[in-house]
C-alpha cells in the first residue's frame, strides 16, 4: 500500500462503550507502534509489536487498553469501557526496524483515529 492507513478516522463513543481501532501498516513492515495524542500534546507511546509479538506495552494506561497483531500485519487497538479521558487521537506507525537493531528506520505514521468519548 501507499502508506499506513487507519480506520475509522473518527469515532464517537458513549462512556462505557467498547471501541476497536484498526491499523494497516505499510506492507512488509516488521515493526508497528501505537501512540496516543491528547489535545494540544505530543504523541505518547502506548505499545510496540515486532511481527505478531507484542514486545513492549509499557505505555498502555490501564488494563482497559488491549492491542493485538495476530498475523503480524494488521493491528487492532481495543479500549474497553471507554472513559472521557480516553478522548484523543490514536496514531499508528510502522517501520522496518527490528528490536535491538543497529540502525534506525523511519517510522511512518498513519492519519490517526480521533476518538471522542461523551
**Any idea which residue has 484523543 for its cell?**
88
Spatial separation of the C-alpha atoms in residues 37 and 112, rounded to whole Å: 9
Number of residues that bind another protein (CB under 8 A): 31
From the list 85, 106, 116, 118, which residue makes contact with another protein (rule: CB under 8 A)?
A: 106
Closest listed residue to residue 2, CA positions, set 108, 114, 77: 108
Spatial separation of the C-alpha atoms in residues 61 and 40, rounded to whole Å: 18
Minimum CB distance to another protein smaller for 17 or for 56: 56
Q: Which of residues 59-98 bind another protein (CB under 8 A)?
A: 59, 91, 93, 97
Closest listed residue to residue 71, CA positions, set 9, 20, 5, 25: 25
Segment contacting another protein (CB under 8 A): 12-20, 66-74, 79-87, 107-115? 107-115
Question: What is the binding site for another protein (CB under 8 A)?
Answer: 4, 31, 33, 35, 40-45, 48, 50, 55-56, 59, 91, 93, 97, 99-104, 106-112
Amino acid at each position: 500500500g501507499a502508506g499506513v492507513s487507519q480506520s475509522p478516522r473518527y469515532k464517537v463513543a458513549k462512556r462505557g462503550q467498547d471501541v476497536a481501532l484498526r491499523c494497516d501498516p505499510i506492507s512488509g513492515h516488521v515493526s508497528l507502534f501505537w501512540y496516543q495524542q491528547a489535545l494540544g500534546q505530543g504523541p505518547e507511546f502506548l505499545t510496540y509489536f515486532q511481527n505478531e509479538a507484542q514486545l513492549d506495552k509499557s505505555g498502555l494506561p490501564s488494563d482497559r487498553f488491549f492491542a493485538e497483531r495476530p498475523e503480524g500485519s494488521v493491528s487492532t487497538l481495543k479500549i474497553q469501557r471507554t472513559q472521557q479521558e480516553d478522548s484523543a487521537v490514536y496514531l499508528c506507525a510502522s517501520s522496518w526496524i527490528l528490536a535491538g537493531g543497529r540502525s534506525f528506520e523511519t517510522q511512518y505514521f498513519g492519519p490517526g483515529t480521533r476518538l471522542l468519548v461523551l
